[in-house]
Protein backbone atom coordinates (compact mmCIF):
# COMPACT_ATOMS: atom_id res chain seq x y z
CA UNK A 1 0.00 0.00 0.00
CA UNK A 2 1.23 3.49 -0.84
CA UNK A 3 0.76 6.17 1.83
CA UNK A 4 0.59 9.91 1.19
CA UNK A 5 0.61 11.29 4.73
CA UNK A 6 2.24 9.51 7.68
CA UNK A 7 1.62 10.85 11.17
CA UNK A 8 3.58 9.74 14.23
CA UNK A 9 1.79 9.96 17.58
CA UNK A 10 4.64 10.25 20.03
CA UNK A 11 5.02 10.44 23.76
CA UNK A 12 8.06 12.18 25.09
CA UNK A 13 9.72 9.21 26.73
CA UNK A 14 13.04 7.45 26.21
CA UNK A 15 11.65 5.45 23.27
CA UNK A 16 10.54 8.48 21.27
CA UNK A 17 13.67 8.92 19.16
CA UNK A 18 13.59 5.36 17.80
CA UNK A 19 9.93 5.81 16.85
CA UNK A 20 10.67 9.11 15.12
CA UNK A 21 13.30 7.46 12.92
CA UNK A 22 11.02 4.51 12.11
CA UNK A 23 8.19 6.88 11.13
CA UNK A 24 10.62 8.94 9.05
CA UNK A 25 11.66 5.76 7.24
CA UNK A 26 8.00 4.91 6.51
CA UNK A 27 7.41 8.39 5.10
CA UNK A 28 10.55 8.34 2.95
CA UNK A 29 9.83 4.83 1.65
CA UNK A 30 6.34 5.93 0.58
CA UNK A 31 7.29 9.41 -0.64
CA UNK A 32 4.80 10.69 1.94
CA UNK A 33 4.51 13.80 4.08
CA UNK A 34 5.55 13.28 7.70
CA UNK A 35 3.68 14.89 10.56
CA UNK A 36 4.15 14.51 14.30
CA UNK A 37 1.49 14.76 17.00
CA UNK A 38 1.95 14.85 20.75
CA UNK A 39 -0.88 15.17 23.26
CA UNK A 40 -0.37 16.53 26.75
CA UNK A 41 -3.02 15.10 29.04
CA UNK A 42 -5.60 17.63 30.19
CA UNK A 43 -4.82 17.30 33.88
CA UNK A 44 -7.40 19.84 35.03
CA UNK A 45 -10.32 17.89 33.54
CA UNK A 46 -8.92 14.63 34.94
CA UNK A 47 -9.06 16.03 38.48
CA UNK A 48 -12.22 18.11 37.95
CA UNK A 49 -14.36 17.85 41.06
CA UNK A 50 -11.66 16.03 43.03
CA UNK A 51 -9.27 18.89 43.66
CA UNK A 52 -10.05 22.57 44.02
CA UNK A 53 -6.66 23.67 42.73
CA UNK A 54 -5.88 25.87 39.74
CA UNK A 55 -3.64 23.72 37.56
CA UNK A 56 -3.25 26.21 34.70
CA UNK A 57 0.30 27.18 35.71
CA UNK A 58 1.30 23.52 35.84
CA UNK A 59 -0.27 22.89 32.42
CA UNK A 60 1.51 25.92 30.92
CA UNK A 61 4.85 24.67 32.25
CA UNK A 62 4.14 21.17 30.94
CA UNK A 63 3.26 22.58 27.51
CA UNK A 64 6.47 24.64 27.41
CA UNK A 65 8.47 21.55 28.43
CA UNK A 66 6.76 19.46 25.72
CA UNK A 67 7.62 22.01 23.03
CA UNK A 68 11.28 22.07 24.09
CA UNK A 69 11.54 18.27 24.23
CA UNK A 70 9.86 17.91 20.83
CA UNK A 71 12.26 20.41 19.21
CA UNK A 72 15.21 18.49 20.61
CA UNK A 73 13.72 15.19 19.41
CA UNK A 74 13.23 16.45 15.85
CA UNK A 75 16.55 18.31 15.47
CA UNK A 76 18.40 15.49 13.71
CA UNK A 77 15.77 14.43 11.19
CA UNK A 78 16.73 14.64 7.54
CA UNK A 79 13.09 14.72 6.39
CA UNK A 80 11.17 17.96 6.83
CA UNK A 81 8.16 17.78 9.14
CA UNK A 82 4.97 18.72 7.29
CA UNK A 83 3.05 19.55 10.49
CA UNK A 84 3.98 19.43 14.13
CA UNK A 85 0.84 19.22 16.26
CA UNK A 86 0.89 19.68 20.01
CA UNK A 87 -2.54 19.28 21.58
CA UNK A 88 -3.85 19.10 25.12
CA UNK A 89 -6.75 16.83 26.00
CA UNK A 90 -7.77 13.22 25.83
CA UNK A 91 -5.13 11.31 23.88
CA UNK A 92 -7.46 9.24 21.72
CA UNK A 93 -9.77 12.20 20.92
CA UNK A 94 -6.94 14.55 19.98
CA UNK A 95 -5.10 12.00 17.85
CA UNK A 96 -8.35 11.15 16.06
CA UNK A 97 -8.96 14.88 15.45
CA UNK A 98 -5.40 15.34 14.14
CA UNK A 99 -5.80 12.44 11.71
CA UNK A 100 -9.16 13.67 10.38
CA UNK A 101 -8.19 17.35 10.07
CA UNK A 102 -4.94 16.59 8.27
CA UNK A 103 -5.92 13.82 5.85
CA UNK A 104 -3.57 11.25 7.39
CA UNK A 105 -3.66 7.77 5.85
CA UNK A 106 -1.15 6.05 8.18
CA UNK A 107 -0.86 6.64 11.92
CA UNK A 108 2.30 5.29 13.54
CA UNK A 109 2.37 4.72 17.29
CA UNK A 110 4.68 3.04 19.75
CA UNK A 111 3.35 0.25 21.91
CA UNK A 112 5.17 -1.22 24.86
CA UNK A 113 4.44 -3.45 27.79
CA UNK A 114 2.48 -1.81 30.56
CA UNK A 115 1.16 -2.86 33.90
CA UNK A 116 -2.47 -3.82 34.48
CA UNK A 117 -3.45 -0.37 35.81
CA UNK A 118 -2.22 1.34 32.63
CA UNK A 119 -4.00 -1.23 30.48
CA UNK A 120 -7.27 -0.61 32.26
CA UNK A 121 -7.19 3.14 32.88
CA UNK A 122 -4.68 4.90 30.65
CA UNK A 123 -4.08 3.00 27.41
CA UNK A 124 -5.32 4.92 24.35
CA UNK A 125 -4.56 2.04 22.00
CA UNK A 126 -7.85 0.13 22.09
CA UNK A 127 -10.15 3.11 21.39
CA UNK A 128 -7.84 4.23 18.58
CA UNK A 129 -7.83 0.80 16.96
CA UNK A 130 -11.63 0.71 17.03
CA UNK A 131 -12.24 4.22 15.68
CA UNK A 132 -9.23 5.14 13.55
CA UNK A 133 -10.26 6.10 9.99
CA UNK A 134 -6.84 5.25 8.57
CA UNK A 135 -4.30 2.44 8.81
CA UNK A 136 -2.59 2.14 12.18
CA UNK A 137 0.94 0.82 12.63
CA UNK A 138 1.97 -0.12 16.18
CA UNK A 139 5.72 -0.36 16.61
CA UNK A 140 7.79 -1.77 19.40
CA UNK A 141 10.19 0.98 20.41
Q: Mean pLDDT, to the nearest integer, of 29-47?
A: 79
Judged against a pLDDT cut of 70, whether residue 60 lies above it is answered with no
The better pLDDT of the pair 115, 85 is held by 85
Q: Which CATH number is 5-138 given?
A: 3.40.50.620
| Overall pTM > 0.75 | yes
Instruction: Summarize the confidence of residues 117-121 as an average pLDDT.
Output: 51
Q: What average pLDDT does this structure show over 35-41?
A: 87
Instruction: Specify the pLDDT at position 53.
Output: 52
Q: For the residues 128-137, what does the mean pLDDT come to?
A: 88
Indicate if the alpha-carbon torsion angle 17, 24, 111, 127 is positive or negative: positive
Amino acid sequence: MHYKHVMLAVGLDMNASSLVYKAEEMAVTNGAKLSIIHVDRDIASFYDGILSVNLSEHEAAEHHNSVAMMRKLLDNLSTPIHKHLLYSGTIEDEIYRGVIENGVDLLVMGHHKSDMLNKILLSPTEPLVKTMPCDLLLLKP
